């Protein structure tokens, strides 16, 4: 099983990145989000999900474990194939997670080949898997305790943001000044906006 490939980006085309690892080129199907983080002739590391069928052996490459996990969640939904999953994640794993957690079909139907019914099924099947991670996350750090104390919505927002790969300290800073009575959706949006402004 391939876990990741690390090497030089030899070819970069829409939907495809070839990573040269010691003279062997691994062709990986990638989202626009991952492709935007790669540069030709520069080193890169992609996390790999393999797809082996009778007529094909495909490698799907992701710039982060978060994006890879989102892809695997998406393809577990009946009716979502690799192509649709890559299209949905092309706007970034943050966008996908936000769309599922907040039930925003438009964020999902913006992807090519994803209709309203499929978007609804994705939200229905994955809402608990994406947002429900809050129960498994450790909120014990001092940086996180303040926002979590505000109530369950803040805890859910925290869980979603940690799932997107943000550090507890970043989340605590981004949620400073947020309305403690705001919905989970509003808190996540507030924090994401704060982080985007910061970068």
Mean pLDDT of 168-189: 82
Give me the chain's average pLDDT, please: 83
* Tens-place pLDDT, residues 7-50: 999 999 999 999 999 999 999 999 999 999 999 999 999 999 99
Measured N-to-C along each axis, helices 116-131 and 65-75 cross at an angle, to the nearest 10 degrees, of 130
pLDDT at 112 over 70: yes
What distance lies between CA 130 and its chain's CA centroid?
A: 10
Surface-to-core class of residue 136, CB atoms within 10 Å of its CB (0-12 exposed, 13-18 middle, 19+ buried): exposed
Q: What is the CATH number of domain 68-130?
A: 1.10.150.20
pLDDT of residue 95: 86
CB atoms within 10 A of CB 109: 18
Closest CA to 84 of 55, 45, 117, 54: 117
pLDDT of residue 131: 54
pLDDT of residue 151: 55
Q: What is the CATH number of domain 137-198?
A: 1.10.8
User: Helical H runs in 12-140?
Assistant: 32-35, 65-75, 82-89, 93-102, 105-109, 116-131
Which one-letter DSSP state was computed for residue 30?
Answer: -
Give the start-to-end residue ranges of the domains of the chain.
4-62, 68-130, 137-198
CATH fold label, 4-62: OB fold (Dihydrolipoamide Acetyltransferase, E2P) (2.40.50)
pTM surpassing 0.85?
no
């Amino acid at each position: 099983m391939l876990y990741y490939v690390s090497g030089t980006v030899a070819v970069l085309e829409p939907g495809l990145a070839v990573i040269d690892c010691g003279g062997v080129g691994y062709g990986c199907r990638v989202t626009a989000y991952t492709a935007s983080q790669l540069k030709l002739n520069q080193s890169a590391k992609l996390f790999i999900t393999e797809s082996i069928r009778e007529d094909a052996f495909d490698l799907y490459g992701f710039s982060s474990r978060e994006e890879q996990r989102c892809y695997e969640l998406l393809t577990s939904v009946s009716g979502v194939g690799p192509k649709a999953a890559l299209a949905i994640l092309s706007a970034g794993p943050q966008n996908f997670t936000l769309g599922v957690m907040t039930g925003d079909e438009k964020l999902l139907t913006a992807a090519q080949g994803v209709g309203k019914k499929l978007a609804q099924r994705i939200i229905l099947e994955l809402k608990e898997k994406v947002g429900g991670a809050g129960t498994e996350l450790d909120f014990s750090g001092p940086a996180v305790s303040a926002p979590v104390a505000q109530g369950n919505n803040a805890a859910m927002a925290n869980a979603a943001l940690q799932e997107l790969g943000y550090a507890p300290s970043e989340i605590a800073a981004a949620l400073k000044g947020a309305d403690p009575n705001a919905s989970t959706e509003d808190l996540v949006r507030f924090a994401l906006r704060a982080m985007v402004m910061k970068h």
